């Protein structure tokens, strides 16, 4: 993480019906890299009141809960006009849950087996409104975004001020990196596959984001699928 991100303060509300999971998450993230856990909730029915009372930056939300599930709780937060960003953290990884969570306003979707560093990074990104997904969910999400207009993740047109297609400026090595992103691979996995350093992969990604005018890996992956489908 950058020094700027380490210094950033982010408040988090943990929502999960399992007390052991709430305790474990709190132990993992509280006080780490500027994160403060300001409260806990055991069901989605408690979320709106807890967010109104505690005003967290991020809600770390489970999906399956006894009374009100995490997707309905996310929808309730949006209806209430809450500024809190929702990160879904669940053991259940299906297309329907992923799609519904995003459509109801969640910014990110992680599985409960995610590495601690990924959870921390996702919390910081969510506080800034930037999405992040478990690698295993990314490729399926891209497929849904390209086929289903109801998935709100389509990238902007990649054109420069003069109307030039910015995709023509992407190098072959950058496309190699982009294709691995579309497969849901992490930076470390891409680096290993292409015999590059992780720093070089990050440099290529920064270049791709600028050239294609995208802000996250999902939008980048959509560009890859669209380009490859046109070339087929």
| pTM of structure | 0.66
Residue 139: inside a domain: no
Q: Does residue 112 sit in the same domain as residue 209?
A: no
pLDDT in tens, 152-198: 444 444 555 444 455 668 888 998 998 888 777 788 889 999 999 99
CATH code of the domain containing 176: 1.10.10.10
Question: How many Å apart are CA 164 and CA 172, to the nearest integer?
Answer: 18
Q: Does residue 27 sit in the same domain as residue 111?
A: yes
Residue 31: inside a domain: yes
Q: Does residue 59 sit in the same domain as residue 159?
A: no
| Confidence at residue 145, expressed as pLDDT on a 0 to 100 scale | 59
pLDDT of 6 over the 60 cut: no
- Count how many domains the chain has: 2
Beta strands in the chain (DSSP E): 10-15, 35-41, 58-61, 85-90, 108-111
Higher pLDDT, 231 or 123: 123
Residue 138: inside a domain: no
* End position of a domain, from candidates 86, 107, 132: 132
* End position of a domain, from candidates 132, 153, 187: 132
Question: How many Å apart are CA 106 and CA 224, to the nearest integer?
Answer: 24
* End position of a domain, from candidates 132, 156, 186: 132
Residues of the domain holding 100? 3-132
CATH code of the domain containing 29: 3.40.50.2300
* Alpha carbon 185 to chain centroid, angstroms: 14
pLDDT in tens, 197-230: 999 999 999 999 888 887 777 778 777 766 665 5
Structure tokens at 113: 């087996």
**Contact between residue 87 and residue 62 where contact means Cβ atoms under 8 Å apart:** no
Q: Does residue 110 sit in the same domain as residue 8?
A: yes
Q: Does residue 88 sit in the same domain as residue 177?
A: no
Residue 191: inside a domain: yes
Residue 77: inside a domain: yes
């Amino acid at each position: 993480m950058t020094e700027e991100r380490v210094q950033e303060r982010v408040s988090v509300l943990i929502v999960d019906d399992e007390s052991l999971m709430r305790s474990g998450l709190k132990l993992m993230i509280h006080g780490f890299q500027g994160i403060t856990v300001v409260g806990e909730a055991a069901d989605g029915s408690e979320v709106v009141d807890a967010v109104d009372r505690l005003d967290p930056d991020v809600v770390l939300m489970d999906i399956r809960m006894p009374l009100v599930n995490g997707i309905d709780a996310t929808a309730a937060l949006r209806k209430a006009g809450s500024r809190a960003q929702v990160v879904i953290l669940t053991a259940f990884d299906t297309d329907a849950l992923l799609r519904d969570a995003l459509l109801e306003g969640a910014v990110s979707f992680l599985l409960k087996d995610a590495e601690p560093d990924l959870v921390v990074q996702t919390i910081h990104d969510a506080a800034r409104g930037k999405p992040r997904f478990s690698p295993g969910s990314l490729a399926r999400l891209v497929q849904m975004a390209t086929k289903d207009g109801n998935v709100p993740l389509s990238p902007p047109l990649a054109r420069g001020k003069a109307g030039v297609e910015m995709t023509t400026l992407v190098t072959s090595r950058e496309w190699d990196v982009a294709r691995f992103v579309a497969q849901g691979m992490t930076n470390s996995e891409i680096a290993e596959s292409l015999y590059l350093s992780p720093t070089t992969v990050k440099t290529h990604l920064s270049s791709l984001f600028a050239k294609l005018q995208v802000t996250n890996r999902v939008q980048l992956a959509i560009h890859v699928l669209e380009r490859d489908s046109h070339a087929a």
